[in-house]
């Protein structure tokens, strides 16, 4: 059986990383048009760099929780098929738990040159004057996907959506596309679909099964 798992901020919530849209979430404290769009970066790049330096520093101290660990165990021990993990998260907690994940919205740990698209490991504190190691231009930005930008790995994800027998979404509100549309795609191709979340997402009605509760309890129980 081919299993495709999509995770969102809820899977890292109990590691101490805030979600985006819950009470006190990132988008209740920051204007996303200012810090998570190419236009915001063009208007005030220093503000955006500061925002991501702060988020990168928070993420650096976080440890994987029981949900990340259970998913890593599933990925390494499942012998009746394959388990593909796609995450919208920019933290590296799936990797810290031992998983291999496709980061469709990028990663805190990667810097990108806005001029030539080169990528390299991000320093903990990124600066606007950082020069690209390839072209030398000082046009460094975080390698994260902002609104209006095309997410990473979409052709590979589309392939997995076509062939998955089981699609599972964990800790995501189902508000951001194209990820929120994956359940419909997987379902149209005949996959069974399961949502695991603290509360029903915006697209909960499209899943065959919805499991509610904190990820550190529900995910290990589902994997077991
Ligand atoms: C727990 C829990 C616990 C809490 N246990 N659970 C229709 C189709 C296509 C696109 C669009 C469309 N309509 C509009 C668009 C455009 C736009 C969009 O979706 N806008 C909507 C807001 C309407 N999308 C885009 O612009 C995307 N690009 C794009 O569409 O390109 C065009 C294109 C697509 C395809 C092919 C060709 C071209 C890009 C979106 C980029 C999103 N970027 C961000 C920032 C990333 C960097 C950063 O981290 O700063 O990604 S925004 C933010 O939202 C972040 C997240 O990955 C993303 C999703 O959030 P997530 O993970 O769901 O978090 P929350 O907070 O929303 O939800 C947390 C959930 O966890 C909740 O449900 C809680 O209940 C739960 N929870 N604690 C379990 N303990």
Residue with tokens 């920051």: 30
Last residue of a domain, one of 91, 124, 144: 144
CA distances (Å), 199 to each of 22, 112, 217, in order?
A: 11, 35, 14
Beta carbons within 10 angstroms of residue 31's beta carbon: 11
Residues with beta carbon inside 6 Å of ligand 1?
Answer: 8-10, 13-14, 19-22, 25, 36, 88, 90, 105, 144-151, 154, 171-173, 175-178, 197-199, 201, 214-215
Q: Which of 28, 178, 207, 219 to mutate to test the pocket of ligand 1 (most atoms within 8 A of CB)?
A: 178
Q: What domain range is 135 assigned to?
A: 22-61+109-144
Are 222 and 133 in the same domain? no
Inter-residue long-range contacts of 24-33, CB under 8 Å, 24+ positions, other chains counted: 26/55, 32/147, 33/147
Atom of ligand 1 nearest to the CA of 172: 63
In this predicted structure, what is the pLDDT of residue 141?
A: 95
Give ipTM to 2 decimals.
0.95
178 cis-preceded (ω within 30 degrees of 0): yes
Determine contact, residues 93/110, Cβ cutoff 8 Å. Answer: no
In this predicted structure, what is the pLDDT of residue 81?
A: 84
Are 131 and 194 in the same domain? no
Are 200 and 115 in the same domain? no
Give burial (CB, 10 Å; 0-12/13-18/19+) of 185: middle
**Residue 207: which CATH number?**
3.40.50.1220
Are 159 and 212 in the same domain? yes
Determine contact, residues 47/131, Cβ cutoff 8 Å. Answer: no
In this predicted structure, what is the pLDDT of residue 155?
A: 98
**Residue 45: which CATH number?**
3.30.1600.10
Are 114 and 156 in the same domain? no
Are 165 and 191 in the same domain? yes
Q: Over the chain (224 residues), what is each successive 10-residue block's mean pLDDT?
A: 98 97 94 97 95 95 97 93 96 97 97 95 92 94 97 98 98 98 97 98 98 98 96
In this predicted structure, what is the pLDDT of residue 128?
A: 86
Determine contact, residues 102/157, Cβ cutoff 8 Å. Answer: yes
């Amino acid at each position: 059986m081919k299993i495709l798992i999509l995770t969102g901020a809820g899977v890292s919530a109990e590691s101490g990383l805030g979600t985006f849209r819950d009470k006190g979430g990132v988008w209740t404290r920051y204007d996303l048009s200012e810090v998570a769009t190419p236009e915001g970066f063009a208007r005030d790049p220093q503000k955006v760099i500061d925002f991501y330096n702060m988020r990168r520093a928070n993420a650096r101290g976080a440890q994987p929780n029981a949900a990340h660990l259970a998913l890593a165990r599933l990925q390494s021990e499942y012998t009746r098929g394959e388990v593909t993990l796609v995450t919208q998260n920019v933290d590296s907690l799936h990797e810290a738990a031992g998983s291999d994940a496709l980061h469709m919205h990028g990663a805190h740990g990667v810097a990108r040159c806005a001029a030539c698209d080169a990528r390299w490991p991000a320093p903990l504190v990124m600066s606007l004057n950082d020069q690209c190691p390839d072209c030398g231009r000082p046009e460094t930005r975080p390698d994260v996907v902002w609104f209006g930008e095309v997410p990473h790995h979409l052709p590979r994800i589309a392939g997995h959506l076509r062939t998955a027998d089981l699609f599972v979404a964990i800790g995501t509100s189902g508000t951001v596309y194209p990820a929120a549309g994956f359940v419909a795609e997987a379902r149209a191709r005949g996959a069974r679909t399961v949502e695991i979340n603290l509360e029903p997402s915006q697209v909960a009605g499209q899943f065959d099964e919805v499991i509610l509760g904190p990820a550190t309890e529900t995910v290990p129980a589902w994997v077991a």
